[in-house]
Each structure stands twice: as structure tokens, then as C-alpha cells.
């Protein structure tokens, strides 16, 4: 039997020889349907299919393992050709070892495995030292490195961490360094940490992209977005790594894009493993039950949005987003009983000397909670929404970290990813959500938020996490109750102790 031939490249590869039936099988394996494809097809006549096997028989190299899984059937052979089929030219490490630290065993193994694969999405829990893994990979390859981030907090933090570990200060390419002139986005340097937004607005010329030997995509679960994916597929780096505590999103298109751009999943460690080894603090989750009567009923929400719905239930069609927003506003943002219970928990822990981080999903909600805490005058409290200038934000974080007595920091989603605050004793997740609704907080973000508080320190082996057992009852359209149940299941799936307690 004539062998199938795949010509490999760093970003795109091609099946140059294969039987027609094999090509059809590859095409099927690399086709996924969008979420809600049935609805899309019924309403718009579009199948909702996204094809990753395109003319002329090309596919993203990150999907090679899927293609081989189709072609390597009994009795068939596959030959790999092209520059990506052999080991890249030898390279010299930047230095003998990282500065100021010795890699943990799971970090060393992750680096060994990642270099063998050359492209992968590395899953490592929040607080496990993903940036140190990246620094070691940069050190070992010794190749020019482009490191993509999506928030200015991550930009500054990554530059400082890589500088501390490598002894070389990366160039930071953010909004302030690209003011409309495309030449500003073609910064030189062997290590550049760049914001995706900046490169999307001021896309460098092809020669700039050609220099990179290593590409990192931090918080790689965002790679499914158009801007992230486009940039990753422009960069021809032969070494391509994604980093995230929760890389898999459950969205078939986003997850296929992630693999296409960075390669298969590589699990460096899991939360339970690192907690047992005392590399991470162990969370204990308490879900406060403030009473079902303090939440709107499903009928109340429907009537507020569609007053005539009982006469004609079809009027509720396509109103899911509006119904959820109404339920959220009445059941979370403006639920004074719920907010008072969370305020009491935060203030009591702060009065006992704990540092408390309260995370919200909406600015209005955060302001309400902060105002109520300030009015109590029982503890210092700061509010950060992402709109403050860098100086104020840095000052607030420093004062919070160095406070000798208890203190409370209320923050918007700027703290969902990447910001390190190992001083947190108590985490309060005030934002609800959990199913990935269009106006909701997906499970990946919930776990990222918990990870903000799990970084260990000598006096902390456990962190207390508060959530809320939201909702009016067990109605299948009671979004708040369904989401609370989903969050509880997500916590239990991580092996964390969960208690539902009367507030």
C-alpha cells in the first residue's frame, strides 16, 4: 500500500499523498460544529460547521496527532516530510540555570515533555509557577521568544518575573508603546512580552514575525478568540506553548483552535496533587444559603421582561439573555440580603486579622459592596475596577499586602487571571455565574478566581473560600440556582471540601 505523506511546517502542514477515503476521514475529523449549531441551522440555514482541513489538503500543524490518528490505521503507513519533521538546529541555553530558584519536580518534567513535543498547551493550576515553566523553556531553547498576554497587569508582571529568573529584561510591548505608528510595534529584542490588543491594532510586517523561534500564549484558553488565533497562526515559531490552569473550555470550536495553534494538551500537575505536596494551599469552600425567599421566582423574572408571557409563552423565545440579566440584577447585584451577608463575612474576618479578597463580576455590584463596608467603618477596604491609574492600583495592592491587621480588597474581573496575591487568607466569590451563559461567568473563570488565593506561604496551608447558594428553587429555568449547583459540582470535581451553610 502506498504510504500517505504529510509535509510538515511550523504552523501549517499538508497531506500531499493519501487515498481519497483517507482524506475524507481527515476532513471529518477536523470539522467541528459551533455551540447551538442546530439553532443556527434552523434559523439561518448555516450548518454551523468550522473546517480545519482546508484547500489544498492543509491543516494546522498543532492538529497533527489527530491527523495521524486517522491515517495510521492497520496496514497503512505514514511518512512525515518537511523542515518540521526533524529536530531544529542546535541552540545554546541563555544561562546555566534560572536565577533564585530551583525548579520543582513537576515543573522540570513539564519542561522536558514540552520540549519533546515542541508544541503543546500546558495545563498547570493557578499558583503552580507557570511563568517559571515558561522561563525555563526560554532558557533552554535560547531562541528569540514572543510572549503574548491580554492584560496590562499581566504584561508588567510577566516582564518582571522573566527578568528576575533570566537576568534579561524583556521588552514590554503594550498600548503605551504603540501609538499608531506601525514601526513602534516592530520592537527589537530577543524576548518580547506583547499585548494581543497592541499587535492586533498595529500588526508588524512579515519580517518581524519571522525572527521568533518560540511563541508563548499566556492564559491560552483565550486562544479561541479571533484576535488571539489570527496572531498565533501568523507567527511561524517552531516552538509553540500555551499556558493556563484551565485550558479546555468545553467549546468545540475554541478548543480545536487552541490545539491547532499550540498543539495537544500537556498536564503538568493537578490541584489536588500540588495541595498534597504543599505547593498550593488547600481550599475549603463554604456556600452561604441566605434563603430562597430572598430571590426572585422564575415567574417574577418572566413577568418583568415579558408581562404577557402567561397568555403566550412563545413570547419568551430568544429572551434568555434578558431574563438572565433581570434575574442577576435582582438576585445578585441589588439583593441587599445577599450583599449584607457577604459584607458581614468580610468584615468579621478582617476584624479577626484576615486579609479578605472579594471578587465581583460587575462594577455596580462591587461599588455597592464597597460602599456598605466603608459605611461600617470596621476595617480598611479598597475597590479596584481596572479604571484606576497604575499608580493608585499599585499603591492599593501594596497597602493591602503590607497591612498588619485585617483588610478587605474588592475587585472586578481584572483579578480573574494572572494577578498574584499570596497574602489572601479569605476569598469571597460574590459574582455568581457558572454555566458560561452569554452574560455569565464560565466555570474556567470560577476556578481561576479560586486559584488567586491558593498560592502558599509559610503561615498558610488552607484558604477559606466563600460562595453563595443562590436561587429560589429547583425550577430548570432558575438560572441562579442552576449556576450555584454547577459551581458546587466544579469545586467537588477538584477534590475540594464544600459545605452549604445557612448565612
Task: Point out which residues pair with 427 in neighbouring strands.
Answer: 357, 465
- At residue 437, φ and ψ (nearest 5 deg) are -55, 155
Which residue reads 470596621 in cell numbers? 378
Q: Which pLDDT value is given to residue 493?
A: 85
Mention every residue, 6+ apart, whose C-beta is less than 8 A from residue 100: 164, 165
Q: Which of 230, 222, 171 is nearest to 199 (CA)?
A: 230
Q: All domains of the chain, ordered by start, with CATH?
A: 4-84 (3.30.780.20), 105-269 (3.40.50.300), 275-502 (3.40.50.300)
Answer whether 385's CB lies under 8 Å from 457's CB: no
Length of the chain: 503
According to DSSP, residue 102 is labeled: -
Q: Which pLDDT value is given to residue 473?
A: 86
Furthest-apart CA atoms within the chain: distance in Å = 80
The three cell numbers locating residue 8: 510538515
Mention every residue, 6+ apart, whose C-beta is less than 8 A from residue 198: 173, 174, 175, 177, 178, 185
Q: Which pLDDT value is given to residue 286?
A: 97
Given a cut of 70, the residues of the chain with pLDDT beneath it are: 1, 36-47, 86-90, 175-188, 414-422, 434-445, 452, 455-460
d(CA 14, CA 53): 9
Q: Which pLDDT value is given to residue 441?
A: 45
The three cell numbers locating residue 169: 529584561
Q: Which pLDDT value is given to residue 345?
A: 95
Mention every residue, 6+ apart, whose C-beta is less than 8 A from residue 154: 218, 219, 417, 418, 419
Query: For 377, left (φ over 0), alpha (ψ -120 to 50), or beta?
Result: left
Helix H or strand E segment including 383: strand 381-384
Query: For 263, left (φ over 0), alpha (ψ -120 to 50), or beta?
Result: left
Summarize pLDDT for 321-374 with one digit per residue, the tens. 899 999 999 999 999 999 999 999 999 999 999 999 999 989 899 999 999 888
Summarize pLDDT for 380-403 with one digit per residue, the tens. 899 988 777 778 888 888 888 888
* Cα 162 from chain centre: 20
d(CA 136, CA 216): 12
Q: Which pLDDT value is given to residue 58?
A: 97
Q: Which pLDDT value is given to residue 178?
A: 45
The three cell numbers locating residue 258: 487552541
Q: Which pLDDT value is given to residue 43?
A: 60
Q: Which of 451, 492, 137 is nearest to 287 (CA)?
A: 492
According to DSSP, residue 314 is labeled: G
- Antiparallel, parallel or unpaired: β 355-359 and 426-429: parallel
d(CA 260, CA 242): 11
CB burial of residue 375 (10 Å; 0-12, 13-18, 19+): exposed
Q: What is the DSSP string of 178-225?
A: -SS-GGGGS--SSEEEEEHHHHHHSPPPHHHHHT-SEEEEESGGGGGS
**Strand runs (DSSP E) across 392-448, as ranges?**
407-411, 426-429
Amino acid at each position: 500500500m502506498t504510504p500517505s505523506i504529510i509535509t510538515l511546517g511550523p504552523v501549517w502542514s499538508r497531506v500531499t499523498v493519501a487515498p481519497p477515503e483517507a482524506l475524507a476521514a481527515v476532513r471529518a475529523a477536523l470539522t467541528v460544529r459551533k455551540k447551538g449549531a442546530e439553532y443556527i441551522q434552523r434559523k439561518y440555514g448555516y450548518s454551523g460547521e468550522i473546517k480545519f482541513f482546508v484547500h489544498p489538503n492543509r491543516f494546522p500543524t498543532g492538529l497533527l496527532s489527530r491527523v495521524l490518528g486517522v491515517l495510521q490505521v492497520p496496514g497503512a503507513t505514514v511518512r512525515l516530510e518537511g523542515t518540521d519533521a526533524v529536530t531544529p538546529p542546535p541552540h545554546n541555553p541563555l544561562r546555566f540555570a534560572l536565577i533564585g530558584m530551583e525548579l520543582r519536580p513537576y515543573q522540570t518534567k513539564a519542561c522536558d515533555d514540552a520540549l519533546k513535543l515542541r508544541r503543546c498547551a500546558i495545563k498547570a493550576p493557578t499558583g503552580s509557577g507557570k511563568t517559571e515553566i515558561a522561563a525555563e523553556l526560554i532558557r533552554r531553547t535560547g531562541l528569540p521568544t514572543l510572549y503574548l498576554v491580554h492584560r496590562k497587569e499581566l504584561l508588567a508582571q510577566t516582564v518582571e518575573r522573566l527578568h528576575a529568573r533570566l537576568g534579561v529584561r524583556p521588552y514590554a510591548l503594550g498600548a503605551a508603546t504603540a501609538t499608531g505608528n506601525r514601526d513602534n510595534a516592530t520592537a527589537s529584542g530577543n524576548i518580547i512580552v506583547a499585548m494581543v490588543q497592541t499587535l492586533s491594532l498595529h500588526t508588524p510586517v512579515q519580517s518581524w514575525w519571522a525572527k521568533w523561534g518560540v511563541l508563548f500564549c499566556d492564559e491560552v484558553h483565550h486562544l479561541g478568540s479571533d484576535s488571539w488565533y489570527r496572531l498565533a497562526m501568523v507567527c511561524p515559531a517552531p516552538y509553540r506553548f500555551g499556558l493556563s490552569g484551565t485550558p479546555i473550555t468545553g467549546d468545540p470550536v475554541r478548543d480545536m483552535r487552541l490545539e491547532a495553534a499550540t498543539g495537544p494538551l500537556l498536564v503538568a500537575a493537578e490541584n489536588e496533587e500540588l495541595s498534597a505536596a504543599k505547593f498550593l494551599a488547600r481550599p475549603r469552600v463554604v456556600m452561604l444559603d441566605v434563603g430562597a425567599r430572598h430571590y426572585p421566582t422564575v415567574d417574577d423574572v418572566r413577568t418583568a421582561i415579558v408581562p404577557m408571557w402567561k397568555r403566550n409563552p412563545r413570547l419568551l423565545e430568544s429572551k434568555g439573555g434578558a431574563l438572565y440579566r433581570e434575574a442577576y440584577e435582582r438576585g445578585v447585584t441589588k439583593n441587599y440580603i445577599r450583599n449584607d451577608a457577604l459584607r458581614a463575612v468580610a468584615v468579621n474576618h478582617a476584624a479577626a486579622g484576615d486579609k479578605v479578597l472579594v471578587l465581583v463580576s460587575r462594577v455596580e455590584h462591587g461599588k455597592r459592596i464597597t460602599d456598605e463596608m466603608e459605611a461600617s467603618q470596621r476595617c480598611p477596604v479598597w475597590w479596584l475596577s481596572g479604571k484606576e491609574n497604575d499608580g493608585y492600583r499599585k499603591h492599593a495592592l501594596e497597602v493591602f499586602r503590607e497591612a498588619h491587621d485585617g483588610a478587605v480588597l474588592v475587585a472586578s474581573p481584572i483579578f480573574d487571571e494572572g494577578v498574584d496575591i499570596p497574602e489572601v487568607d479569605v476569598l469571597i466569590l460574590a459574582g455568581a455565574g457558572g454555566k458560561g451563559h452569554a452574560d455569565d461567568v464560565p466555570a474556567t473563570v470560577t476556578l481561576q478566581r479560586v486559584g488567586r488565593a491558593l498560592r502558599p506561604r509559610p503561615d498558610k496551608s488552607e484558604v477559606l473560600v466563600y460562595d453563595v447558594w443562590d436561587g429560589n428553587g429547583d425550577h430548570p429555568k432558575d438560572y441562579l440556582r442552576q449556576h450555584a449547583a454547577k459551581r458546587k459540582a466544579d469545586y467537588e470535581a477538584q477534590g475540594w471540601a464544600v459545605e452549604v451553610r445557612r448565612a
